[in-house]
Every structure is written in structure tokens, then in C-alpha cells.
């Protein structure tokens, strides 16, 4: 085995669909093609959006498609670890609602990222004090970003990324949870703890990366490498969703579609075979390359051929 450690990190907020699976295929093949290890991490901290049964169904769908992994973790079982990690970070509780943050914007900021001006810095002595000030809402933990904090990194797929986090984001949210058990903190802490050497995921998470790099550094660690892959979109150019028809893996299974047909479509969209035809995931290990993957989003047109 090489020293490469990759991970698949499904969220049970919905069913596994073509879009997730294409990204997982890239992540799995990237690891297997170099003899590396694959970690499966169920990211089930998003209550109440997590759907009962979705985690088990996702694992079952993934095995059916030909995925395997060497270690398996469930985030909801790791709360003490997140609590201990939170205690090592420059964090403070914040009670501002999204609307509060929006109305504090002095100038429009690019994209969907909201700039947070630090309203709750030094405002509360602890979480409980903040929680009682905003009950029944829940506060969030924010990471204290020093002025002049600029992050630069070279994404393995997307290339050079540079962001002045202090000017564009400010003190970013870590988790909306007393123990710090929320996506930004948990995913970062887990990637470090699990020895992940490279994160391969959808490019919708590119904006989450500079904060995750800052968290890693605050924990005294080097972040993993990052490799962000374009998403699958519908013919309207928007990311794959219900309006584009049913692309859930369980529905294709129920309709009698073979896993090789799904994998074959993915392989063709990634340039590993010249046109869509049935092929197994393991059969792609020798064909895998990042270089042939288009930099534009892939359009799902409703058929595997
Ligand atoms: N669980 C996240 C998702 O399904 C992925 C997180 C990550 O890859 O960092 O969107």
C-alpha cells in the first residue's frame, strides 16, 4: 500500500444520486489507482435534515456499485473528539441570525459567502450564556480570524486558490452545536485524525477549504491536499436535483439498471472510456486519470448512453 489515504464522506441528508456517486468514483479510483487506502466516513451530524435509513441505504448502494473501503467511521459517535478539538481552537459563541449578518454587510460580497464583522466577539463568557441570550435558537461557534489572514493553496484539480479570509469571510462558523459537532469543524478534525492525505470532493466545497486550512493550522497540523471536481448538473446548468428527474441510485436499482451501466456513464463523462458502455468500478482502476476529467460541469441528459 502507498501512503495515500483518501476518503468518501456521504451525508445521509438525502439519497445517494448520480452526482454524489460520480465524485465518489473519482475519489475511490484516485486512491485505488495508486494502491492507497479508502476511508468511509458517514457525516451524520446534520439533524434534523438527516433522513432515517439514508445512511444504511447509501452504504448498500455504494457496495452494489462496487465501492469498498478499509475503515469506516460515523461522525455522530465522535462527539467527545469534536468537543476536545473545539477546546483547542480560537472559537467563540455567536448568536447572530443569518439576517443579522446580512444586514451588517457594508458592501456586497462575492458569491454566497457572507462576511461576518465580529459582532459577538468578546460578547459572551461561554456557550450557555450565548444560548440563553438567543433561546430557542441555537448559537454557533465562530473561528476568530486574525487581520491579514490570506490563504493560498494549489488545488490538485482546480489550480491556484487565493483568499483573504479576514476581508472576505471574517470569523467563519465552525459548528452550530455546543460540542462543535458540525460540518466545518468535524470534517477538518476527522481528516487530520484519520490521516487523510488528499480530499477529493465536489467543487461546491471549494469555498469551505480556506477555513478548513485555517482550522488545521490552528491545530498545529498541515492540511491534506485538496482536489475539487466539478459537479453534475441538469440541462439547465443547475446542480442535479429533483427537478431533473429521479437520479437516485436506489431508483435505478429498482428499475433493473445494472451498476456497470451507471459506472460506464461516469467513466465516459470522465474521459476514461470513449463512450458510455457497461464497465465495473474495479475495471477502471487501470484507466483512471485526473487529466481527462473535463473542467466544466457534466450535464445529465436523462440516459446512461
Ligand atoms: N458530507 C459532505 C457532503 O456530502 C462532504 C464533505 C466533504 O467532502 O468534505 O456534501
Q: What is the CATH number of domain 5-77+230-299?
A: 3.40.50.620
Q: Which of 54, 181, 183 to mutate to test the pocket of ligand 1 (most atoms within 8 A of CB)?
A: 183
- For residue 97 the three cell numbers come to 441570525
Give the H/E segment covering residue 184.
helix 183-193
Instruction: Give helix 54-65 / helix 18-33 axis angle, nearest 10°.
Output: 50
Span 31-66, pLDDT tens digits: 999 999 999 999 999 878 888 899 999 999 999 999
Q: How many A from CA of 10 to the centre of ligand 1?
A: 6
Q: Which of 201, 227, 240 to mutate to test the pocket of ligand 1 (most atoms within 8 A of CB)?
A: 201
Residue nearest to atom 6 of ligand 1 (CA): 9
- For residue 288 the three cell numbers come to 483512471
Residue nearest to atom 5 of ligand 1 (CA): 9
Cβ contacts of residue 63 below 8 Å, gap of 6+?
Answer: none
- Residue 52 is predicted with a pLDDT of 86
Span 92-105, pLDDT tens digits: 999 999 888 888 77
Q: Which of 205, 224, 240 to mutate to test the pocket of ligand 1 (most atoms within 8 A of CB)?
A: 205
Q: How many A from CA of 287 to the centre of ligand 1?
A: 26
Span 244-303, pLDDT tens digits: 999 999 999 999 999 999 999 999 999 999 999 999 999 999 999 999 999 999 999 999
- Residue 111 is predicted with a pLDDT of 57
Q: How many A from CA of 43 to the centre of ligand 1?
A: 7
Domain with CATH 3.40.50.620 in the chain: 5-77+230-299
Q: Which letter does DSSP use for residue 21 in this model?
A: H
- Residue 50 is predicted with a pLDDT of 84
Span 1-32, pLDDT tens digits: 689 999 999 999 989 999 999 999 999 999 99
Span 62-111, pLDDT tens digits: 999 999 999 999 999 999 999 999 999 999 999 999 888 888 776 555 45
Is the peptide bond between 52 and the residue preceding it cis, with omega within 30 degrees of 0?
A: no
Q: What is the pTM of this model?
A: 0.95
Q: How many A from CA of 201 to the centre of ligand 1?
A: 7
- Residue 100 is predicted with a pLDDT of 86
Q: How many A from CA of 123 to the centre of ligand 1?
A: 32
Domain with CATH 3.90.800.10 in the chain: 88-183
Average pLDDT of 104-119? Answer: 74
- For residue 179 the three cell numbers come to 460540542
Pocket lined around ligand 1, Cβ cut-off 6 Å = 9-11, 43, 187, 201, 205
Q: How many A from CA of 103 to the centre of ligand 1?
A: 29
Q: Which letter does DSSP use for residue 155 in this model?
A: E
Question: How far is it, in rounded angstroms, from Cα 179 to Cα 84?
Answer: 8
Span 169-200, pLDDT tens digits: 999 999 999 999 999 999 999 999 999 999 99
Tell how far CA 94 is from the center of its chain: 23
Span 153-164, pLDDT tens digits: 999 999 999 999
Strand pairing category for 150-155 and 37-42 = unpaired
Q: Which of 5, 7, 9, 17 to mutate to test the pocket of ligand 1 (most atoms within 8 A of CB)?
A: 9
Confidence of residue 242 (pLDDT cuts 50, 70, 90): confident
- Asked if the 88-183 domain carries CATH number 3.50.30.50, the reply is no
Amino acid at each position: 500500500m502507498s501512503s495515500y489515504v483518501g476518503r468518501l464522506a456521504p451525508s445521509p441528508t438525502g439519497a445517494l444520486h448520480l452526482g454524489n456517486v460520480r465524485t465518489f468514483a473519482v475519489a475511490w479510483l484516485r486512491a485505488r489507482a495508486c494502491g492507497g487506502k479508502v476511508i468511509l466516513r458517514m457525516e451524520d451530524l446534520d439533524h434534523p435534515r438527516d433522513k432515517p435509513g439514508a445512511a444504511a441505504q447509501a452504504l448498500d448502494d455504494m457496495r452494489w456499485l462496487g465501492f469498498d473501503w478499509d475503515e469506516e467511521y460515523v461522525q455522530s459517535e465522535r462527539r467527545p473528539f469534536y468537543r476536545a478539538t473545539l477546546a483547542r481552537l480560537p472559537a467563540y459563541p455567536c448568536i447572530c441570525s443569518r439576517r443579522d449578518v446580512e444586514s451588517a454587510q457594508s458592501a456586497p460580497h462575492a458569491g454566497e459567502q457572507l462576511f461576518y464583522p465580529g459582532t459577538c466577539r468578546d460578547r459572551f463568557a461561554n456557550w450557555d450564556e450565548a444560548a440563553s441570550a438567543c433561546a430557542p435558537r441555537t448559537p454557533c461557534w465562530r473561528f476568530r480570524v486574525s487581520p491579514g489572514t490570506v490563504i493560498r493553496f494549489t488545488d490538485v484539480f482546480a489550480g491556484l486558490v487565493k483568499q483573504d479570509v479576514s476581508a472576505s469571510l471574517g470569523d467563519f462558523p465552525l459548528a452550530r452545536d455546543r460540542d462543535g459537532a458540525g460540518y466545518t469543524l468535524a470534517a477538518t478534525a476527522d481528516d487530520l485524525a484519520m490521516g487523510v492525505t488528499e480530499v477529493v470532493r465536489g467543487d461546491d466545497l471549494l469555498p469551505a477549504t480556506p477555513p478548513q486550512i485555517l482550522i488545521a493550522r490552528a491545530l498545529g497540523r498541515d492540511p491534506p491536499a485538496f482536489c475539487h471536481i466539478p459537479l453534475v448538473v441538469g440541462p439547465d446548468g443547475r446542480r442535479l436535483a429533483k427537478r431533473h428527474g429521479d437520479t437516485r441510485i436506489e431508483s435505478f436499482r429498482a428499475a433493473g439498471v445494472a451498476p456497470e451501466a451507471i459506472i460506464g456513464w461516469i467513466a465516459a463523462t470522465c474521459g476514461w472510456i470513449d463512450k458510455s458502455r457497461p464497465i465495473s468500478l474495479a475495471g477502471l482502476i487501470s484507466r483512471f486519470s485526473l487529466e481527462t476529467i473535463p473542467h466544466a460541469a457534466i450535464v445529465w441528459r436523462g440516459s446512461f448512453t
